């Protein structure tokens, strides 16, 4: 498919992206973040210039979301996005009618550049490409290399090819026998919730070589090992190592570009469910790891992924489904999402190694990846690596971090040193890297009435977030904003 340049025209959402505008709201943002930490403090005016320099060539990000009669669609956005200092919790909802109608936001904090993206726009690899180019341009401007970037015609053509926005699901669709996917309910995590709009972040920093040595000793990949440790930790922490009537299942996103030779910046991933139903209380970790490893070998191969693409795209191609109005499609898609959502316990996403542009390795300290959470999806785990460090990040709406601690304790038990950093009430270092979670915010099973009283005691802890929580709980709405948001007036 020839790469489509918008130039005032519209573009369809890719096959996977279609569901995200239907299900996203203030309580379930469907936003994820990729960030880079540099060795020196960020200069906001230079970062703003860098964003303005690269955005004209990155068509997938230069759009706004529009609502049609049959589907949502993208339209070129000619406005200029504004870089802002981070002042609230990560992965907050991106309102398509705010934020100058862009579906991403760029913020900074001390030495860190954050790129937060609404999932309808792209997946993790697409966001990494965007952030790397933004960082590259920023460092070029810092070092006075303006004339070397985004200027000659050959470079522009090359970048336009690189920033392809083709729907690779349709490009790689083949009519193959489709397997039915189970929506059997999986074990669900429960706990004491934080107030709406807040969230706990905990980063675990581990040495790449130490982690590889443990995986080599077990004869598995890093993703297989981490998946088994996470399932093991849930079993030990929540079920106390006892048999369970429901399986513990991880939702594992798979990058399809490596299997189907695609370079699209649109979404191109599939998800596979990896889990285990514990019946034997004497199950050892090595036994579990072997079962998870074999399960992943069966499920993550090209044939099974082709079946997944066929399953998803075939419905989009049926004419009698295409002519159904969006208002009815939205009801059906929301039901489908709820059925799939109950089939897994939590998400584990590993985007692998991120490499810096040549010559910039010494200016970059690390990368972080994190995924937005909600009451329906209360905890997620994201993994990325840079240089000799792997960063494992848990995001959560729970007040405690017992599961995270059990997970990292298992790594330590296997010989992997871990250094923790986060914003929770626990003793992680540098808790001011995000707005802090104070114990006064903790709710018992989501008692909203209690939050209304507590929010007055928050002080400067995420001030804007606190004010939004108070307004939400009090039912206060701005009529002008609501009319603009809901009716486009």
Kindly report the average pLDDT of the chain as a whole number: 83
What are the beta bridge partners of residue 379? 396
Nearest to 67 by CA among 27, 13, 29: 13
**Does residue 60 sit in helix, strand or coil?**
coil
Backbone angles phi, psi at 257, to 5 degrees: -60, -35
- Res. 109 pLDDT band, cuts 50 70 90: very high
Nearest to 8 by CA among 59, 81, 70, 82: 59
Q: Is-contact 384 368, C-beta < 8 A? A: yes
> Cβ contacts of residue 356 below 8 Å, gap of 6+?
132, 135, 363, 364, 386
Residue 446: predicted pLDDT: 45
What are the beta bridge partners of residue 34? 115, 369
Distance separating alpha carbons of residues 309 and 321, to the nearest angstrom: 17
User: Model confidence over 120-144: pLDDT tens digits?
Assistant: 999 999 999 999 999 999 999 999 8
More confident residue, 319 or 139: 139
Nearest to 350 by CA among 373, 382, 377, 379: 382
Backbone angles phi, psi at 475, to 5 degrees: 75, 20
- Res. 94 pLDDT band, cuts 50 70 90: very high
Residue 398: predicted pLDDT: 92
- Res. 7 pLDDT band, cuts 50 70 90: very low
**Does residue 75 sit in helix, strand or coil?**
strand
Q: Where are the beta strands (DSSP E) in 256-378?
A: 269-276, 346-353, 364-371
User: Model confidence over 331-365: pLDDT tens digits?
Assistant: 888 887 887 888 999 999 999 999 998 888 899 99
The length of the chain is 489
Nearest to 403 by CA among 231, 221, 185: 231
Distance separating alpha carbons of residues 279 and 374, to the nearest angstrom: 30
User: Model confidence over 238-291: pLDDT tens digits?
Assistant: 999 999 999 999 999 999 998 998 888 889 999 999 999 999 999 999 999 999
3-state SS of the chain: helix, strand, coil percent to 5? 40, 20, 40
Residue 425 has pLDDT above 80, yes or no: no
Q: Is-contact 203 422, C-beta < 8 A? A: yes
Distance separating alpha carbons of residues 461 and 88, to the nearest angstrom: 9
> Cβ contacts of residue 16 below 8 Å, gap of 6+?
123, 169, 267, 268, 269, 312
Q: Report, as an integer, the average pLDDT of 23-51.
A: 94
Distance separating alpha carbons of residues 115 and 91, to the nearest angstrom: 10
Distance separating alpha carbons of residues 204 and 422, to the nearest angstrom: 9
Name the pTM for this structure: 0.85
Q: Domains in the chain, ordered, with CATH?
A: 10-174 (3.30.559.10), 200-299+325-447 (3.30.559.30)
User: Model confidence over 162-211: pLDDT tens digits?
Assistant: 567 888 888 888 877 666 666 789 999 999 888 877 889 999 999 999 99
Q: Is-contact 160 166, C-beta < 8 A? A: no
Residue 52 has pLDDT above 50, yes or no: yes
Nearest to 381 by CA among 228, 214, 203: 203
Nearest to 260 by CA among 301, 216, 215: 301
Q: Within 10 Å of residue 108's Cβ, how many Cβ atoms? A: 21
Nearest to 205 by CA among 67, 325, 71, 384: 384
Choose the most confident range, by mean pLDDT, from 13-22, 110-119, 451-460: 110-119
**Does residue 292 sit in helix, strand or coil?**
helix
Q: Which residues of 339-362 are buried (b: 16+ CB within 10 A; e: fewer)?
A: ebbebbbbbbbbbbebebeeebee
Q: Report, as an integer, the average pLDDT of 449-454.
A: 42
Q: Within 10 Å of residue 103's Cβ, how many Cβ atoms? A: 26
- Res. 466 pLDDT band, cuts 50 70 90: low
The helix (H) or strand (E) run that includes residue 228 is helix 222-238
User: Model confidence over 388-422: pLDDT tens digits?
Assistant: 999 999 999 998 899 999 999 999 999 999 999 98
Q: What is the largest CA-CA distance in the chain?
A: 65
Nearest to 256 by CA among 79, 154, 408, 124: 124
Distance separating alpha carbons of residues 9 and 75, to the nearest angstrom: 6
């Amino acid at each position: 498919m020839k790469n489509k340049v918008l130039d005032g025209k519209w573009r369809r959402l890719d096959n996977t992206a279609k569901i995200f505008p239907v299900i996203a709201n203030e309580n379930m943002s469907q936003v994820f973040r990729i960030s880079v930490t540099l060795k020196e403090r960020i200069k906001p005016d230079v970062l703003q210039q860098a964003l303005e320099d690269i955005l004209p060539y990155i068509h997938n990000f230069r759009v706004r979301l529009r609502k049609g009669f049959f589907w949502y669609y993208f339209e070129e956005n000619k406005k200029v996005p504004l870089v802002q200092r981070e002042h609230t919790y990560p992965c907050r909802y991106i309102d398509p009618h705010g934020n100058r109608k862009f579906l991403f936001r760029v913020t900074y904090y001390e030495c860190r550049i954050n790129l937060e993206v609404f999932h309808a726009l792209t997946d993790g690899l697409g966001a990494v490409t965007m952030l790397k180019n933004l960082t590259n341009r920023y460092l070029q401007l810092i070092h006075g290399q303006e004339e070397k970037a985004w200027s000659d015609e050959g470079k522009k053509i090359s970048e336009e090819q690189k920033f392809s926005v083709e729907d690779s699901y349709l490009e790689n669709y083949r009519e193959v026998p489709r397997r039915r996917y189970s929506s059997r309910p999986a074990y669900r995590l429960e706990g004491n919730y934080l107030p709406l709009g807040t969230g706990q972040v905990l980063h675990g920093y581990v040495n790449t070589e130490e982690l590889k040595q443990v995986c080599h000793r077990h004869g598995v990949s890093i993703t297989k090992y981490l998946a088994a440790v996470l399932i093991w930790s849930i079993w030990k922490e929540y079920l106390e190592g006892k048999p369970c009537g429901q399986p513990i299942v991880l939702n594992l996103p798979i990058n399809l570009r490596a299997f189907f030779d695609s370079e699209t910046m649109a979404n191109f991933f599939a998800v596979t469910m990896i889990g285990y139903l514990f019946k034997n209380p004497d199950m050892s970790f090595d036994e579990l790891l072997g079962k998870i490893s074999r399960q992943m070998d069966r499920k993550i191969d090209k044939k099974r992924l082709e079946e997944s693409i066929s399953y998803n795209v075939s419905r989009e191609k049926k004419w009698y489904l295409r002519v159904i109005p969006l208002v009815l499609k939205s009801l059906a898609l929301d039901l489908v999402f709820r059925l799939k959502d109950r089939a897994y316990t939590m998400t584990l996403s590993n985007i692998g190694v991120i490499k810096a542009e040549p010559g910039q390795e010494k200016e970059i300290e690390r990368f972080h990846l994190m995924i937005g959470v909600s009451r329906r999806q209360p905890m997620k785990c994201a993994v990325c690596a840079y240089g000799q460090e792997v960063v494992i990040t848990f995001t959560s709406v729970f007040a405690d971090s017992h599961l995270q601690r059990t997970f990292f304790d298992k790594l330590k038990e296997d010989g992997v040193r871990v250094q923790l950093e986060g914003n929770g009430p626990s003793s992680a270092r540098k808790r001011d890297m995000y707005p802090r979670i104070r114990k006064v915010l903790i709710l018992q099973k989501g008692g909203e009435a209690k939050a209304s009283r507590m929010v007055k005691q928050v002080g400067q802890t995420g001030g804007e977030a606190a004010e939004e929580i108070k307004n939400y709980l009090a039912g206060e709405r701005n009529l002008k904003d609501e009319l603009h948001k809901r009716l486009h007036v």
